[in-house]
């Protein structure tokens, strides 16, 4: 359990990270038409996929290693995006359509002043704090009452989906002060730099890559530590873990809150690269799609979550361009095939025997905890 990735895997990851870092460099260094030029849309698409991969990694931490199936992680993703979007809307200033210090949607709805919860959102660092604190606090409070009540399994999945759906309906209302069904869009600047400039997009891409790499290392450290063995014991036999004297509440609450924060950071990185955030990001279908990413790549492998996010979203981009009416059918078929034929996901096709050798039995995990 101390070595989740082999030396060969680390070398492959380092090579892929270096190759990924070269994409924005090739976009800036070589003019359009050059053989090595990377188009602007490809840089943006890869950045968006990395945000999805970070969200999938966060979900794998709670589902793959702790056995908590969340159907509401789209809520944390959207809350992180909204928190960052508030700063981006304030940064527009008088460059908006109505040339007002208020965001355009507030002027359109005849708001006279900013709501109290918009105070200080013109500060980039304050909004970054909101990205972490708001989803983290919501996850902590929700998780505390749910885990203390010992809600688990399908019941927990249902209430996470209900919470996400309720928040989506709330954010769709114009009087909540978050743009209604249109949300936030038409961003102009971030930290004084044009958000549409290729250099700015390159920096956002590299920051996203750095956060994805850092999150992977953090999750690896978590699951290979003593804490990770406890989390996997919670997944495999929570009753036996309680019998030997552990209280699963705080372990589940910690990993649940950490996962929510990582997902919110993914949403915050997603918004400036895509240029929009609206309540549709909280749609239950989005949260279910995150589960598909993890299942397709390989649940409980970390790397599988990243692989699944890139694979599914790559197929989605191709299908929606070539066969737009068939994507949902293809997604459903993919999930059925993985569930029936590849229960370890795509990553399990590569090293199924090694995974069986390195993964301890549930009883062994409980003995290691003691």
The mean-pLDDT minimum among 12-26, 70-84, 119-133, 264-278 falls in: 12-26
Whether 369 has a pLDDT exceeding 60, the answer reads no
Q: What sign results for the dihedral spanned by CA atoms 93, 211, 297, 20? A: positive
pLDDT for position 271: 97
- When pLDDT is averaged across residues 125-130 and rounded to a whole number, the result is 96
Give the chain's mean pLDDT.
89
The reply to whether the predicted model has a pTM over 0.85 is: yes
Residue 362: name the closest of 215, 203, 234 by CA: 234
What's the token pair of residue 164?
């996400």
* pLDDT class of 86 with cuts at 50, 70, 90: very high
What's the token pair of residue 125?
């660092």
Residues forming a β-bridge with 277: 184
- When pLDDT is averaged across residues 210-224 and rounded to a whole number, the result is 95
Residue 215: name the closest of 254, 157, 260 by CA: 260
- When pLDDT is averaged across residues 250-260 and rounded to a whole number, the result is 96
Whether 42 has a pLDDT exceeding 50, the answer reads yes
- Pair 279, 78: CB distance under 8 Å: yes
- What gap in Å lies between CA 151 and CA 157, rounded to an integer? 9
pLDDT for position 95: 82
* pLDDT class of 112 with cuts at 50, 70, 90: confident
Residue ranges with strand state E in the chain = 184-185, 189-190, 193-194, 276-277
**Residue 56: Cβ within 10 Å count:** 32
Q: What sign results for the dihedral spanned by CA atoms 178, 181, 186, 191? A: positive
- When pLDDT is averaged across residues 205-216 and rounded to a whole number, the result is 96
pLDDT for position 33: 86
Whether 360 has a pLDDT exceeding 90, the answer reads no
- When pLDDT is averaged across residues 195-220 and rounded to a whole number, the result is 95
* pLDDT class of 365 with cuts at 50, 70, 90: very low
Q: Is 120 exposed, middle or buried (0-12, 13-18, 19+ CB in 10 A)?
A: middle
Whether 207 has a pLDDT exceeding 80, the answer reads yes
What's the alpha-carbon Rg for the chain, to the nearest Å? 21
HSE, CB side, 13 Å, CA atoms: give it for residue 74.
Answer: 28
- What gap in Å lies between CA 294 and CA 299, rounded to an integer? 5
- When pLDDT is averaged across residues 107-135 and rounded to a whole number, the result is 93
* pLDDT class of 359 with cuts at 50, 70, 90: very low
Which phi and psi (to 5°) does residue 247 adopt? -100, 105
Helix 284-297 with 303-322: angle, nearest 10 deg: 120
Whether 352 has a pLDDT exceeding 90, the answer reads no
Buried b (16+ CB within 10 A) or exposed e, 333-367: ebbeebeeebebbbbbeebeeebeeeebeeeebbe
Q: Which of 68-77, 238-247, 315-324, 350-359 has the highest mean pLDDT?
A: 68-77
């Amino acid at each position: 359990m101390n070595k989740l990735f082999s030396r060969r895997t680390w070398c492959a990851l380092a090579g892929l990270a270096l190759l990924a870092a070269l994409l924005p460099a090739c976009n800036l260094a070589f003019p359009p038409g050059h053989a090595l030029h990377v188009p602007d849309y490809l840089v943006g698409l890869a950045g968006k996929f990395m945000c999805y991969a970070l969200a999938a990694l966060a979900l794998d931490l709670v589902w793959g290693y702790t056995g908590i199936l969340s159907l509401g992680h789209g809520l944390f993703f959207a809350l992180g995006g909204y928190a960052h979007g508030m700063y981006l809307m304030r940064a527009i200033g008088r460059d908006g359509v109505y040339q007002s210090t208020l965001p355009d949607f507030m002027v359109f709805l005849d708001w006279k002043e900013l709501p109290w919860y918009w105070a200080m959102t013109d500060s980039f660092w304050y909004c970054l704090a909101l990205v972490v604190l708001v989803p983290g606090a919501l996850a902590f409070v929700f998780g505390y009452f749910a885990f203390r009540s010992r809600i688990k399994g399908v019941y927990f999945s249902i209430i996470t989906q209900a919470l996400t759906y309720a928040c989506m309906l709330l954010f769709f209302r114009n009087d909540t002060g978050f743009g209604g069904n249109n949300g936030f869009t038409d961003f102009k600047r971030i930290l004084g730099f044009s958000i549409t400039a290729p250099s700015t997009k390159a920096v956002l891409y590299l920051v996203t890559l750095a956060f994805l790499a850092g999150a992977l290392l953090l999750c690896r450290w978590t699951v290979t530590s003593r804490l990770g063995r406890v989390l996997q014991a919670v997944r495999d036999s929570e009753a036996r873990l309680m019998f030997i004297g552990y209280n699963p509440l705080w372990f589940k609450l910690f990993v649940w809150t950490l996962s929510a924060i990582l997902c919110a950071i993914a949403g915050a990185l997603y918004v400036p690269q895509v240029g929009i955030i609206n309540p549709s990001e909280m749609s239950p279908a989005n949260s279910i799609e995150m589960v598909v990413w993890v299942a397709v790549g390989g649940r409980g492998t970390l790397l599988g979550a990243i692989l699944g996010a890139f694979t599914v979203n790559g197929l989605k981009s191709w299908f929606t361009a070539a066969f737009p009416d068939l994507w949902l059918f293809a997604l459903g078929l993919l999930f059925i095939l993985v569930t029936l034929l590849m229960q370890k996901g795509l990553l399990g096709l590569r090293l199924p025997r090694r995974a069986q050798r390195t993964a301890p039995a549930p009883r062994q995990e409980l003995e290691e905890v003691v």
